[in-house]
Amino acid sequence: MNPTNTDTLSIRGCAAKTGVSADTIRYYEKIGLLARVPRSTRGHRRFGEDELRWIVFLRRLHETGMPIRRMQQYARLLRRGDATRAERRALLELHRAEVHLKIVMLQGHLRMIDKKISLYGDTEVGAELKPTRASRLQEPSGSPASDFVPRVAAARSVPS
């Protein structure tokens, strides 16, 4: 790539466009997740479309919980070329399975939260919640969360 100021972005522009901080971009370069980024004649990093796509991909891997070491392994394999396609696919398939498992677990957690919310019925939004004496005694001892059902205090009307 022949970097020019018209078809590339500074590190600040890259950070704004990708949602990855400039410090993180520098860190990714330092640990080998980013290949050497082209520089301007003044020595400033200049990020093109290829670098932007790669950084967004890294951000997505990170946000879905892929460990940095595995991201580094993937980057090393990518630099070795087409001979590593099967290994890269296997890494991504493993990560996909882990992400899917997290999603299933989170869906279960969400169902439990929805169930808890439904227990409040038509409770007035903003009403003060006070746990019952029994639930205050049970919750810290490790009783299941389903035993903890707060009691809604009667809403007090404030004269205007």
- At residue 155, the pLDDT reads 41
Which residue range is the domain that position 95 belongs to?
A: 11-122
Query: What is the predicted pLDDT for the residue at 140?
Result: 44
pLDDT value at residue 36: 86
Q: Is residue 98 part of a domain?
A: yes
Residue-level pLDDT at 121: 80
State how far the alpha carbon of 47 is from the alpha carbons of 2, 13, 42, 52, 128, in Å. 11, 9, 14, 7, 52
- Do residue 72 and residue 137 come from a single domain? no
CA gyration radius for the chain?
25
Residues of the chain with pLDDT under 70: 1-6, 123-160
Environment class of 25 (CB within 10 Å of its CB; exposed 0-12, middle 13-18, buried 19+): buried
Q: Are residues 113 and 86 in the same domain?
A: yes
Residues 96 and 28 in one domain: yes
Asked, for residue 2, whether it belongs to a domain, the answer is: no
Assign 49 to helix, strand or coil. Answer: helix
Closest by Cα among 19, 22, 26, 100 to 57: 19
pLDDT at site 126: 62
Residue 6: inside a domain: no
**What pLDDT is recorded for position 92?**
98
Do 49 and 97 belong to one domain?
Answer: yes
pLDDT at 146: 42
How big is the chain, counted in residues? 160
Per the structure block, which two tokens stand in for 37? 């980024």
Give per-residue burial for 31-60: e unless 16+ CB within 10 Å, then b.
eebbeebbeeeeeebbbbeebbebbeebee
| Domain harbouring 48, CATH code | 1.10.1660.10
3-state secondary structure 76-96: HHHHCCHHHHHHHHHHHHHHH
